[in-house]
Amino acid sequence: MLRYGWPGRVQGARMRKGDRRAGLSGMFWIRLLGMALFALLSLRVALMIPGATLYPENWRYIATMVLAGAGLGLLLTPILTVTPLRWLREQVRAVPTEALVAGLIGLLVGLLASALLAVPISMLPGPAGQLLPFIVSVVLGYLGMAAGLGRSSEIYSLIAGRRKDARVSARAEGILVDSSVIIDGRIADLARTGFLSGPLVVPRFVLRELQRIADADDPLRRKRGRRGLEVLNRLQKEGAIPVHIVELDAPEAADVDSKLVQLARDRGWPILTTDYNLNRVAELQGVTVLNIHDLAQSVRPVVQPGEELTVQLVHEGKEYGQGVGYLDDGTMVVVDGARDRVGQQVHVTVSRLLSTTAGRIIFAHLSAAKQEK
């Protein structure tokens, strides 16, 4: 369950503090172990020097070497162990689960095949019988892993017990969700209709962005962020469509939009958004974009010039003599010569339509036959 507010921040701070303590404790023991190993190695090297133990004054040099080795171990152990392991962990996290599983299975199959061939190959005379088994193991292991990665989707689907048509598009596998479409809120209603054809994928960095907005000092931003968290929570509870919060990331990308575009390009997923700038950037890079604004525009009733409408005028227009009203779907209707009818319901005739990035605008004039006196 998603939580926000003061209690949630306190709990999160406690968890982060506990994680830092655990990390510091682990680092301490790793440094201590490295210091001991380097000290023992320095001692072994010092004792290998001819005549090192014959004279008492040599023990001072031996002790100096041991202390130098311990200090070197204290400094180098994190660089030699923790840093590579962190890098490896980030690389593994960036690999899709299906690719990781399929690659491992392919590697095991390749090594198994090399083990079966190792016995007859080892009987070859000379150096060939000693070197060829190792070479065959490396080659078959690599080929097996490459074959597994090439068929990762089919292998993972077979293991997961799901029947999967090879012609199913990437869109059915996941839809990347932007924070703007979550805050918008219409995604919850859209999920209930069944129009979305795949599970919603919310990267962890998008969730962190929502949490930052929910904790903002600006009350309007804070309200928007909390609404986004509530919408995401409702999507998970209703279960109309699967919602997966994943650890996927694109470390080379600087901002959230760039990370989303990079992930969408790498995995062939579309992006669900209401952000105009993200929409344009993603389309320029060949990424499919599902924009709820475009969908809303597409399902609005078609109005043709000459049709008559009934609209409630709510305020004056920018130009002299204009009155402005709105249809039930939010479409703006600008009526010429209706400034004095603001606050009234009038019958109008459509003159022309104007489509903009913000939506459609209908221009109309008062219907002569039905003007209300």
* Half-sphere exposure of residue 12: CA atoms within 13 angstroms, side-chain side: 11
CA distances to 241, 302, 350, 366 from 306, in Å? 42, 12, 5, 12
> Residue 54: what pLDDT?
54
Tens digits of per-residue pLDDT, 168-178? 343 447 888 99
> Residue 80: what pLDDT?
79
> Residue 325: what pLDDT?
92
CB proximity list for 120: less than 8 A, separation 6 or greater: none
Residue 167 β-bridge partners: none
DSSP annotation of 124: S
Residue with more model confidence, 160 or 316: 316
> Residue 306: what pLDDT?
86
Is 116:74 a contact under the CB 8 Å cutoff? Answer: no
Residue with more model confidence, 55 or 182: 182
Where along the chain do its domains lie? 29-94, 97-161, 175-298, 305-366
Which fold would CATH assign to domain 305-366? OB fold (Dihydrolipoamide Acetyltransferase, E2P) (2.40.50)
> Residue 52: what pLDDT?
58
Mean pLDDT of 76-102: 74
Tens digits of per-residue pLDDT, 303-359? 788 888 889 999 988 888 899 998 876 788 999 988 888 988 999 999 988 876 566
> Residue 359: what pLDDT?
67
CA distances to 32, 36, 68, 79 from 42, in Å? 15, 10, 8, 19
Domain 175-298 has CATH 3.40.50.1010: yes
Tens digits of per-residue pLDDT, 96-123? 677 778 888 888 998 898 888 888 888 8
Q: Which of 254, 287, 253 is nearest to 273 (CA)?
A: 287
- pLDDT, mean over the chain: 78
φ and ψ of 126, to 5 deg: 75, -160
- 241 CB neighbour count, 10 Å cutoff: 20
Tens digits of per-residue pLDDT, 205-256? 898 899 999 998 888 888 889 999 998 888 888 877 888 888 877 777 788 8
Helix 256-267 with 276-284: angle, nearest 10 deg: 40
Is 62:47 a contact under the CB 8 Å cutoff? Answer: yes
Residue with more model confidence, 233 or 293: 233
